[in-house]
């Protein structure tokens, strides 16, 4: 049976119990500063299909080499591309592509371009050629300052990924996570490749359960700064933060509705953790259902009409589904005896969660139509799964070789990435939405 003091995504164990009464008063908060440690990326495995693509060195300004490097790194991390050697090939955005020559090198696609600089502004002209169809598949211009070159490179990689695979790329998205160093906690956001980390909140007390708003402009999270867990919403552009749920008892587990108008939260105001909805402005609190045991970790389905959640109402923790309007809850996980932390794929077809098998906590994927389950990771302590906004990858926290890391697996489990922090414990990851 679940311990009543537990809510969601806390520090110590898979249900990660905390006791609010033991927390000290807040010593200080700092927002929007640059984090010192970049995440290092290690990759293993390859996709079932690999597209052969050549990323030629972009010509022009000295910074052009960085653009090519970022694009190559983005595509490589997916495991879905085989990069063809482009050494000795000088191309610019106006080059005529020798399709037969590139085909002989094994490239079905060639990306290339030019970079020019005028004052502090860089103009990037990019092209993508299809050597099989013998045509230009894509082309576009971008502009920005030197600090924006990585972001623009990710945008080019997104276009290449989508033109070749037919699926929208996620290289321009961001992730959020919590880093604990000693007794200090930081809520950080970073690019999807772990670069450009920024500290949004720094506290000597626990920060848990970050959740992106659908427009990517706000984060909801739980902070213990007042001596108990309170749900806050913070606007990233300004750093402004307001308490959304500060009711008697524990306030936890925020999850945004698909349209951003409301959140599901977990409150123990009536003595046991139960699921409520609340408007994004803090009004309209409503209890979804009543249960004699713990209901927690709610997430909206993509259609916004149902909630999935974790409950021990059947004797051990499993994932259930209930209409948003309330009603009879239905159990949807049956394999194993311990399944928690649900996340739903953007298309609504798959469920990912933490399962305990053979003493290890692993990430599992279940098809919601057929019920078929696949164990994606090996443990021993994999937690907090979160889908990429295109549904192709899953971000989670893990312990690898005794180190706390963020990790990414493809939905078929074939390709894995490890994003290692230089120090501290990194956890509670959540993948942000597509940029507007």
Residue ranges of domains in the chain, CATH in brackets? 20-26+173-431 (2.120.10.30), 49-165 (3.40.50.10070)
pLDDT tier for residue 24 given thresholds of 50, 70 and 90: very low
Q: Is the pLDDT of residue 18 over 70?
A: no
**Residues above pLDDT 70, as percent of the chain:** 89
**pTM reported for the whole predicted model:** 0.90
**pLDDT, tens digit, 9 for 90 and up, residues 274-296:** 999 999 999 999 999 998 899 99
Q: What are phi and psi of 247, to 5 degrees?
A: -90, 170
Question: Distance (Å, rounded) from C-alpha 407 to C-alpha 400?
Answer: 9
The pairing of strands 59-60 and 109-118 is parallel
Gyration radius of the chain's alpha carbons: 23
Mean pLDDT of 237-263: 97
Give the pLDDT of residue 148.
94
Give the pLDDT of residue 420.
73
- If you search the block for the tokens 């003595």, which residue do you land on? 271
**pLDDT, tens digit, 9 for 90 and up, residues 305-354:** 999 999 999 899 999 999 999 899 999 999 999 999 999 999 999 999 99
Q: Is the pLDDT of residue 13 over 70?
A: no
pLDDT tier for residue 221 given thresholds of 50, 70 and 90: very high
CB neighbour list of residue 413: distance below 8 Å, 6 or more residues apart: 365, 374, 375, 376, 377
CB neighbour list of residue 419: distance below 8 Å, 6 or more residues apart: 39, 40, 41, 194, 405, 406, 407, 408, 426
Structure tokens at 248: 């008697």
pLDDT tier for residue 32 given thresholds of 50, 70 and 90: low
Structure tokens at 435: 């940029």
Mean pLDDT of 46-54: 84
User: In this structure, what DSSP letter does residue 148 have?
Assistant: G
Rounded to the nearest integer, the mean pLDDT of the chain is: 89
Structure tokens at 301: 């389905």
Give the pLDDT of residue 89.
80
pLDDT tier for residue 38 given thresholds of 50, 70 and 90: low
Mean pLDDT of 112-135: 95
CA atoms 316, 317, 318, 323: torsion sign: positive
Mean pLDDT of 177-191: 94
- Per the model's pLDDT, the better-predicted residue between 424 and 431 turns out to be 431
**pLDDT, tens digit, 9 for 90 and up, residues 73-99:** 999 999 999 999 988 787 889 999 999
pLDDT tier for residue 421 given thresholds of 50, 70 and 90: low
**pLDDT, tens digit, 9 for 90 and up, residues 131-181:** 999 999 999 999 999 999 999 999 999 999 999 999 999 999 999 999 999
Angle CA 347–349–355, to nearest 5: 120
Question: Distance (Å, rounded) from C-alpha 227 to C-alpha 237?
Answer: 27
Q: Is the pLDDT of residue 12 over 90?
A: no
Reduce the secondary structure of 39-105 to three states and give it as a string.
CEEEEECCCCCCEEEEECCCEECCCHHHHHHHHHHHHHHHCCEEECCCCCCCCCCCCCCCHHHHHHC
Give the pLDDT of residue 307.
98
**Residues above pLDDT 90, as percent of the chain:** 78
CA atoms 100, 129, 392, 158: torsion sign: positive
Give the pLDDT of residue 41.
60
Q: Is the pLDDT of residue 215 over 80?
A: yes
């Amino acid at each position: 049976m679940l311990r009543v003091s537990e809510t969601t995504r806390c520090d110590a164990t898979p249900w990660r119990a905390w006791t609010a009464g033991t927390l000290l008063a807040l010593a200080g908060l700092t927002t929007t500063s640059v984090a010192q440690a970049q995440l290092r990326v290690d990759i293993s495995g390859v996709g079932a299909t690999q597209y052969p693509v050549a990323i030629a060195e972009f010509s022009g300004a000295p910074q052009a080499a960085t653009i090519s490097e970022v694009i190559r790194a983005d595509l490589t991390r997916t495991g879905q591309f085989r990069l063809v050697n482009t050494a000795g090939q000088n191309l610019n955005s106006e080059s005529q592509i020798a399709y037969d020559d590139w085909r002989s090198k094994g490239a079905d696609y060639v990306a290339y371009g030019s970079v020019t600089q005028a004052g502090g502004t860089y103009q990037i002209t990019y092209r993508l050629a299809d050597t099989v169809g013998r045509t230009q598949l894509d082309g576009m211009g971008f502009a920005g300052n030197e600090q924006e070159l990585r972001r623009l490179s990710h945008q080019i990689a997104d276009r290449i990924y989508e033109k070749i695979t037919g699926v929208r790329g996620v290289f321009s998205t961001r992730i959020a996570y919590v880093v604990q160093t000693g007794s200090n906690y930081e809520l950080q956001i970073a690019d999807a490749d772990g670069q450009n980390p920024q500290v949004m909140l720094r506290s000597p007390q626990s920060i848990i359960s970050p959740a992106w708003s659908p427009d990517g402009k706000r984060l909801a999270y739980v902070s213990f700064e007042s001596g108990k867990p309170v749900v806050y919403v913070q606007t990233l552009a300004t750093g402004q933060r307001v308490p959304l749920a500060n009711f008697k008892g524990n306030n936890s587990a925020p999850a945004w509705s698909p349209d951003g108008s409301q959140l599901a939260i977990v409150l123990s105001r009536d003595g046991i953790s139960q699921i409520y909805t609340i408007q994004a402005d803090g009004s309209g609190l409503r209890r979804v259902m009543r249960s004699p045991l713990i209901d927690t970790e709610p997430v909206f389905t993509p259609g916004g009409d149902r909630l999935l959640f974790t409950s021990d109402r059947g004797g051990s923790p499993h994932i259930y589904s209930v209409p948003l309007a309330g009603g009879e809850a239905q159990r949807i996980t049956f394999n194993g005896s311990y399944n928690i932390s649900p996340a739903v794929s953007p298309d609504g077809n798959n469920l990912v969660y933490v399962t305990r098998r053979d003493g290890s906590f692993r990430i599992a994927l279940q098809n919601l139509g057929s019920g078929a389950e696949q164990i994606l990771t090996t443990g021993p302590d994999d937690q907090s799964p979160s889908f990429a906004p295109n549904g192709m990858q899953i971000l989670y926290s893990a312990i690898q070789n005794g180190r706390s890391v963020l990790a990414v697996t493809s939905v078929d489990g074939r390709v894995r990435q490890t994003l290692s922090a230089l120090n501290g414990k990194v956890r509670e990851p959540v993948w942000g939405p597509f940029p507007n």
